[in-house]
């Protein structure tokens, strides 16, 4: 295994590449999840569908379901701090 002890430039470039890849992955994840959740709410397949299937007039996007998925994802991120067993069961 190669360790970049003396080459700070290589460490910086690789760290930036990892940060960019993680961000792009997160953006694509929320895009796919929000489209799926919106289509399910439009079809009445999730609770409170009438609330979540509204499209914002200015942005033409389902802001309510995007925000709900953001909150749900944030809560799942903090779940391992409370219970590792519950997180392992979900994952």
The pLDDT value recorded for residue 37 is 92
Prediction pTM value: 0.67
Sign of CA dihedral 25, 27, 29, 32: negative
Asked whether the beta carbons of 74 and 67 are under 8 A apart, the reply is: no
How does residue 3 score in pLDDT terms, banded at 50, 70 and 90? low
Q: What is the pLDDT of residues 36-81, one digit of tens each?
A: 999 999 999 989 899 988 999 999 989 999 999 889 888 888 888 8
* 51 HSE (CA, 13 A, CB side): 8
């Amino acid at each position: 295994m190669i360790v970049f002890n003396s080459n700070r430039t290589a460490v910086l470039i690789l760290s930036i590449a990892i940060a960019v890849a993680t961000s792009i992955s997160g953006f694509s994840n929320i895009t796919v999840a929000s489209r799926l959740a919106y289509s399910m709410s439009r079809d009445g397949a999730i609770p409170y569908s009438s609330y979540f299937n509204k499209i914002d007039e200015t942005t033409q996007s389902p802001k309510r379901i995007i925000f709900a998925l953001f909150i749900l994802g944030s809560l799942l991120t903090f779940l391992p701090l409370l219970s590792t067993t519950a997180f392992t069961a979900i994952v």
